[in-house]
Structure 1
Amino acid sequence: MITIQNQYLKATINPKGAELVSLVQLSSHIDFMWEGDAAYWGKHSPVLFPIVGSLKDNTYFYEEKAYQLGRHGFARDGIFEIETQTEDTVTFLLASDENTKTVYPFDFEFRLKYTLQENQLELQYIVDNSGDKLLWFSVGGHPAFKVPIEEGLAYEDYRLVFNKTEDFARWPLSPEGLIMDTPESTVVTSHEIPLTKELFQQDALVYKNLQSDCITLKSNSGQHQLEFGFKGYPFLGIWAAKNANFVCIEPWCGIADHVSHNQDITQKEGIIALNPSETFTRSWSVKLI
């Protein structure tokens, strides 16, 4: 495990998947991250690359050849190299090799850079096209935050408050994890989602093109909350495992296949095409209060 720290926060990251596993507020000694109980869901904050969500039949086509990838891609299970590290920053690197090319025929360098600044952690995704053809990819986050944050409170005491008013038209998922072709309309336009265990009985809440770029996880009965910033992401997922005490706030540049998709990766909704020698970056942040 790799640890970075400043006077406010201590973050622990596993080189497997470059996954954030702990984020402790030093003044309160509270770890805001989900503990990773495998009885519910054994991860903490996996990275989603080079796809987000599920492929139709776990298969995509590129240049008329079929490739298989599991949900969310392979980076979350890869062993990242520690490229640079200081007291309060660390950068991890995963590069293409013979193994990745059996399922993903592209040259890439994929970095995750964690930075602590006062009471905020920023995670930056950096994708470099190290090949000589277009790099087709998606990338996203899947951090799971503990709910309730404080002892003595209940899951239902918390809500997600968005910084803009939203209509919250949800894109439902098929049993295979594919996006249905028609969203589910909501009657009330609002700026918050009260948390309940029943909310995720039909899988994740998936939204497209929200106006908000910040969500606060808070309770009126508690002293502590977190602010999650996700500017520049066209898709957002919100999810928790059945009856588990966490909520995932998932900013995505990419989305699962639609049920009617033709499986051509170059025609996939939200797919990013990166030219040779170019770099793509995107960040999210969490501020502990």
Structure 2
Amino acid sequence: MLQLSNEKINVTIAEKGAELQTLTRKDMPLEYLWNGDARFWGKKSPVLFPIVGGLQNNSYRYNDETYTLSRHGFARGHVFTVVEQSADSAILRLTDSAETLKVYPFHFQFEIAYALQDAGISVTYRVKNTGSEKMYFSVGGHPAFRLPLADGTAYEDYYLYFNKQEHAGKWPLTSGGLIERTTEPLLENTHVLPLKRSLFYQDALVLKHLASDTVTLKSDKTPHGLTFHFSGFPYLGIWAAKDADFVCIEPWCGIADHVDASGRLEEKEGIVALAPGAEFERSWRVELF
């Protein structure tokens, strides 16, 4: 387990999945990350790579071959190698192997860089195509934040505040985790999404191409909350397990298959195409208050 610290926050990171385990303000003290209670959902902040969401029949086609890949890909289940670490930063790396090539026929280097910044942390995904042909992938985050955050508050006391006025529907998911082709109303010329447990009884809220690049989790009953920056991510998921004490804010470069998707990897909505030797980088950042 890696431990990072600065004057304001403590962070721990597991080498399996390069997954955040704790995110704590020292001066309060206050833990912001979900505890991973397996009765609801045993993860805390898994990384999604080389796909985001689910595939039709958990499979895709590439170069006339069919491959099986489970929801959100394999990176979260693999042990990463720590390639750099200081008191307040770390870089962890995953590369292709005989095991990954069975389900994903590309050579890659995938790094996750964590860096503490004042009372916050930045998380950077770096993907390099180390193969000789074009590489297709998606990547995203899945951090789960504890809710309610402060004693004496309830889940329904909190809301998400988008930094720009939004008019966006949610894209419903089928029971199999595929995206429907028509939206349902959600954000109607507003900055605010009030949180309630029933919002997630039918899986995640999937949002596309928002005007905002920042969302703040807050309550009028406590000064504590967080601000989440996701510039460069065209999709955003918001999710919680049924009746669990957390909310996930999920920045995605990629999305689950639509119900009528072709199944061809290179035709998948949101898929990133990376030339041989090329690199891709995206970062999200969360500030704790």
Shorter-chain-normalised TM-score: which range? over 0.9
Structure with greater strand percent: 2
Percent identity, please.
50
Aligned equivalent of 1:170: 170
Aligned equivalent of 1:57: 57
Aligned equivalent of 1:34: 34
- Matched to 1:96, the amino acid is D
Q: How big is the shift at 1:155?
A: 0.3
The answer to whether residue 118 in structure 2 is matched with residue 118 in structure 1 is: yes
- Matched to 2:131, the amino acid is G
Distance 2:187 2:18 in 1: 40
CA deviation map 1:210-243 (0-9, x unaligned)? 0100010001110211000000111010000000
Q: How big is the shift at 1:187?
A: 7.6
Q: How big is the shift at 1:186?
A: 4.5
Aligned equivalent of 2:263: 263
Q: How big is the shift at 1:120?
A: 1.3
Matches within 5 A, 1:132-143: 132-143=132-143
- SS across alignment from 2:100: helix
Q: TM-score, normalised by structure 1?
A: 0.99
What is the total number of aligned residue pairs between the two structures?
A: 289
Q: How big is the shift at 1:167?
A: 1.2
- SS across alignment from 2:184: coil
Contact 2:168 / 2:187 at 8 angstroms: preserved in 1?
no
RMSD: 0.8
Q: TM-score, normalised by structure 2?
A: 0.99
Distance 2:221 2:186 in 1: 28
Aligned equivalent of 1:242: 242
CA deviation map 1:15-41 (0-9, x unaligned)? 000000100000011110000000000
Distance 2:10 2:55 in 1: 36
- Matched to 2:283, the amino acid is S
Distance 2:120 2:39 in 1: 30
- Matched to 1:72, the amino acid is H
Distance 1:4 1:64 in 2: 45
The answer to whether residue 139 in structure 2 is matched with residue 147 in structure 1 is: no
Aligned equivalent of 1:7: 7
Q: How big is the shift at 1:188?
A: 2.9
Aligned equivalent of 1:253: 253
CA deviation map 1:124-143 (0-9, x unaligned)? 00000001000100000000
**TM superposition outliers: structure 1 runs of 4+ over 2 Å:** 185-188
Aligned equivalent of 1:80: 80
Distance 2:186 2:33 in 1: 30
Structure 1 gaps of 5+ residues are none
